[in-house]
Structure 1
Amino acid sequence: MIKILILIILFFAAVEDIKKMEVGYIYPASILALSFVNFFLKPYISLKFYLFNSFLVFAVLFLFWLLGGIGGGDVKVLTALSFYAGFRIWDILLFSSMIFLLYSLMLRKFKTKLPFMPAIFVGTIGGLFANF
């Protein structure tokens, strides 16, 4: 159930990113709140691991933000999503990056800014629901 709510939140974040090229604070805050609900529902989850993993995700994405390769809203949403997804956030990042690369190749827009949140939405579907 929480997965579906997170996907709905990501869908609306993607729509806002397409329209405005920015993502509101409500989206990462909502994902973070759902992640903490998940911690209470599943007490066997290691909070220390999730905190370390989220810090690592933030550090990597912050470097990309400093270089101008990703927006601040994308960093916030992906960091919040890492509290829910745990180690699968790296799968989500990989899927999202591949999807972004594909649609930037199809649109042939390399110098212009494109919204990354739609790729995050589709990448999350692949990362959370894929069974390897």
Structure 2
Amino acid sequence: MKDTSFFSEFKRDILISINTCLPCRVVSYDKMKREAKLQPLFKTKEKNRSPKSLPVIEGVPVLFQQYEVNGNVETYFPVLHKGQVVQVAINQRAIDDVMNGQASYPDVAKLFRLRDAVVIGVIT
């Protein structure tokens, strides 16, 4: 029974450390750069300790949308306001080169980091 409990806890610890998507509150937004400063709303907690906020994430790219309207391609840029809640996707690997339009072979040590987040939409 203890062996099963150990592996279940080990698996849980690994899974909870992988960042995929999370809601964040907008701390500030630079519309010209399309970059946000965000406070993740999920907290972490270790045994026998109080819950702790995740660190603020700076320089988070905010996605824009392109649509074809009456045969013309229209680009729509996001407008975010301090205090709004947004949904953030965490990229599997580092996105530094990709954000410049370059193909990359990212460092495999940089997996699911909060700094590789992108804002994908507004929740509230």
TM score, norm. by length of structure 2? 0.26
Q: Which of structures 1 and 2 has the larger relative contact order (alpha carbons within 8 angstroms, sep 6+)? A: 1
TM-score by length of 1: 0.25
| Structure with a larger share of its residues in strand | 2
